[in-house]
Structure 1
Amino acid sequence: MIPVSNREDSANSLLGPEMANTIEKEAYDEAKSALQCYSLSQSLQSLPLRYYFLLNVFDLEPFELHMSTAQATDNIYESFFTRYALLCKLAANKDREVEKVTHWHLIEIIALLKDRRSTREEVAAKFIQDPVIADSESLARTLIDLAAGLWLMLSISNYPGDISYDEPIFWEDHEKMTEEQYDLNKGLINKTFSQHYNSTDLVKLPQAFTAAHLDQIGGIKVIWTSNLADHLLLKDDDTKLMLFHQVSILQLHKKSPTILLPKALVDETIRSISLLIPPVLGEPNRWFQQQRKENLIDAQAGVCDRLNSSERQIEKFVYWRDRLVLLKRTFDDAEPRNISQLWWDDRKKTQWFTFWVAVLVFFMTVFFGLVQSVAGIVQAWASVQSLKSQRAQG
């Protein structure tokens, strides 16, 4: 790791001279100093701190990170930084020494991870002698897991107190972050996201195949996740679907010159999200809007480009094909179990129409039968009253 005495020089090289010329220098210096001083127990709340943190993590130029005042008000990266704060808290539960580490330390570790040739062990050796780390192997491991997990949106290692559905990935000491050839099942990224799929079924993915219908018809509850490895994973006897939502961060990966995730994986993930959460005229659909009221979800997940019929073909999916096929089978096999699910289940439109026409006819028959009965009772009552009146007059 870069010595503390040289950290300011490191900050200048990482942030780049163009930024100082583009952004007001006072804000630049303040954000730089804060990242170097704030410990991981202090969450990044202000817009400038978040701005500089993302610029450094993804090696972006200022114009590539559009974070206007309006976007800040809309909390465009709120879900990412909320997850960041949670990961720091969980890491501190695992190793109390984490609290003395700064956000800039984490940026430096992420910079080391961007060298795809280095193994986990080699990355640790580069910064373990930093005075803050103090030759602590356990702290070094915890920080590597934290940095890699935050940057790549993965759950690496188990954290005490973590009650999420995330399934952690184990990164071997001798493993590199990734290999040059993505078809090799070696390295953390390669083994986690394989291009090899087992399913050869050419299932159809119609417009009705959406997260809203999975919920409303199939009774499959969506569990939102920030763990990319759990995307489209069915759990709890196929009653819960893990759905990745950090689209804003995927878009930053696409812009990053130091991206390690396969670009095809990033693009396919965004398309799979659009498949399940199709926007309506460029706006989030009602189901997604309701989900955002109940959960902290990245707003960009609801406004991905809508897929056409060609883009919805299963052949266009490689990384997520097996999970999509299994999800479609589970959806097709799901039978409505209540009136609400029956109402939404229009997968077989002829049967749906016939059923509800029969229901309508039944209720109309009952209704008119009741009306006729009431009319008969009223008529009988009127006849009795008329007879009584005639007798009284006689």
Structure 2
Amino acid sequence: MYQPVLPGLPIASRREVLSQFWSIDSLANGRSNIFEDDVYFDYFEAQCRLARQYDHPEIRICTQRNICDIVCRLKAGEGRETIKASLSLKSNSMDENEEFLNNVIDLTVRLWLMVHVGNVQRGVTGQTALSWREGCLKDCVAAHFQHQRVLTDLVKFEKVFNARNIERIAGVTIRWTPNLVDHLKFIEDGKKPVLNIFHYAAFLNYHRDGDFFPSGFIDETLRTLKLLLPTHDRDSRKWFQKQQTKLKLDPTAINCGQLKLEERQIDHFNFWHDRLVVLKQFFDDSSPRTIKQWWFDDRKRVQWFWVAILLVVLTILFGFIQCIEGGWQIWKAYHP
């Protein structure tokens, strides 16, 4: 009997996923509510429901057993064709149904790496797909997530540069994405610019001790969350908690910490270097277009100080003029 992946994944199945995917023994944690706030498994179940719609109607391929087996084979460096051949033998010679085999392999990659592969039309539209049709998946991932240091602009990330202010001051829509490929992708070609942020911090921590992603990639991605969602910034925390309640985001994203002064330099970022440079340039060049944006914009405190001084002087001047005008009118009233 096959074991289909069902909605409401049982705790035992979740523990097996952690063990097979990342060699994590959740029982050693000693917490009964270890999965209570883990939105990764919400993503896991949603992806499985979607994949089952395209599964073989008679011989189910999208099972947890097959998914865990594919992860082991991907870790061993097996290519797509080798994995398909193995699945075909296990599924009573399904060579004529290659589409179903590709479906479960693509599903496994999305679950294990949270990287969108496969036909975008089957998933949530608007996500960028990583093209992997042959060869070792690890080499494909390394080729995509490599150092991006084409832009040479020197930028410094002030404390005001965070996701909350990017939305409120620069008028950027924050889109929370489950696709690691789209993290920090900035889209400016629509009516309103959009910034994609990958918020699954717990998932990133699962991969910290692994070696499938390029060395340093996971830690740097977590640092981008520290930059955009600083833990000790009260306003950022309140803003994120509202987003988290409404959209069911990973609550640990706001608990990653925050960067020290020396860590807020662009030279400390390699994989996300160019995307951060583009985003920071847009933030610095953006001018408030609404009264609300003007009110929240405190990037140029010196200018605001002189504007305030000017307003005070003008207020006193106009008040003085009104006093003189009022006195003149009273004098004219008694001396027509």
Instruction: Name the TM-score class by shorter chain.
Output: 0.7 to 0.9
Q: Amino acid of the residue matched to residue 101 of structure 2?
A: A
Matched, 1:139 2:103: no
Q: CA deviation at 1:49?
A: 2.6
Match of 2:25 in 1: 61
Report the Cα distance in structure 2 between the residues aligned to 1:296 and 1:315, rounded to whole angstroms: 33
* Bigger-Rg structure (1/2): 1
Match of 2:141 in 1: 189
1:204-259 C-alpha deviation (Å, 9 max, x unpaired): 11111101110010011110011111110011427100001111011111134xx3
Match of 1:246 in 2: 200
Report the Cα distance in structure 2 between the residues aligned to 1:206 and 1:67, rounded to whole angstroms: 40
Match of 2:279 in 1: 327
Report the Cα distance in structure 1 between the residues aligned to 2:88 and 2:292, rounded to whole angstroms: 58
Q: CA deviation at 1:100?
A: 5.4
Aligned partner of residue 53 in structure 1, secondary structure: helix
Match of 2:15 among 51, 54, 59: 51
- What do you get for the CA RMSD once the two structures are aligned? 3.0
Match of 1:111 among 57, 72, 97: 72
Q: What fraction of aligned residue pairs are identical, expressed as a percent?
A: 29
Match of 1:265 among 214, 217, 220: 217
When normalised by structure 1's length, the TM-score is 0.74
Report the Cα distance in structure 2 between the residues aligned to 1:46 and 1:298, rounded to whole angstroms: 20
When normalised by structure 2's length, the TM-score is 0.85
Aligned partner of residue 137 in structure 2, secondary structure: coil
Q: Point out the more displaced range, 104-113 or 349-358.
A: 349-358
Q: Amino acid of the residue matched to residue 219 of structure 2?
A: D
Q: CA deviation at 1:352?
A: 2.3
**Is 2:114–2:178's contact at 8 Å kept on the other side of the alignment?**
yes
Match of 1:307 among 238, 241, 259: 259
Structure 2 unaligned regions, length at least 5: 331-336
**Is 2:147–2:271's contact at 8 Å kept on the other side of the alignment?**
yes
Report the Cα distance in structure 2 between the residues aligned to 1:360 and 1:300, rounded to whole angstroms: 45
Matched, 1:123 2:75: no
Matched, 1:90 2:28: no
Structure 1 unaligned regions, length at least 5: 5-35, 179-186, 380-394
Q: CA deviation at 1:55?
A: 1.8
Aligned partner of residue 196 in structure 2, secondary structure: strand
Q: Point out the more displaced range, 43-52 or 270-279.
A: 43-52
Q: CA deviation at 1:123?
A: 2.1
Q: Point out the more displaced range, 274-283 or 304-313.
A: 274-283
Q: CA deviation at 1:110?
A: 1.1
Report the Cα distance in structure 2 between the residues aligned to 1:157 and 1:67, rounded to whole angstroms: 38
**Is 1:93–1:160's contact at 8 Å kept on the other side of the alignment?**
no
Aligned CA distance change for structure 1 residues 96 and 284 (closer, same or farther; 3 Å): farther
**Is 1:93–1:159's contact at 8 Å kept on the other side of the alignment?**
no
Match of 1:172 among 109, 112, 133: 133
Q: CA deviation at 1:128?
A: 1.9
Q: Amino acid of the residue matched to residue 171 of structure 2?
A: G
Q: Point out the more displaced range, 217-226 or 193-202.
A: 193-202
Alignment of 1:1-394 (within 5 A): 37=3, 39-40=4-5, 42-62=6-26, 66=29, 68-73=31-36, 75=37, 77-78=38-39, 80-97=40-57, 101-116=62-77, 118-131=78-91, 134-135=94-95, 136-160=97-121, 162-173=123-134, 175-178=135-138, 187-237=139-189, 239-256=193-210, 259-280=211-232, 285-356=237-308, 358=310
Q: Point out the more displaced range, 86-95 or 297-306.
A: 86-95
Report the Cα distance in structure 2 between the residues aligned to 1:197 and 1:106, rounded to whole angstroms: 36
Q: CA deviation at 1:350?
A: 0.8
1:61-115 C-alpha deviation (Å, 9 max, x unpaired): 3466x47234444x2x12x122122222332344454855321211111111111
Report the Cα distance in structure 1 between the residues aligned to 2:316 and 2:64, rounded to whole angstroms: 68
**Is 1:133–1:140's contact at 8 Å kept on the other side of the alignment?**
no
Q: Amino acid of the residue matched to residue 60 of structure 1?
A: I
**Is 2:157–2:266's contact at 8 Å kept on the other side of the alignment?**
yes
Q: CA deviation at 1:201?
A: 1.7
Match of 2:333 in 1: none
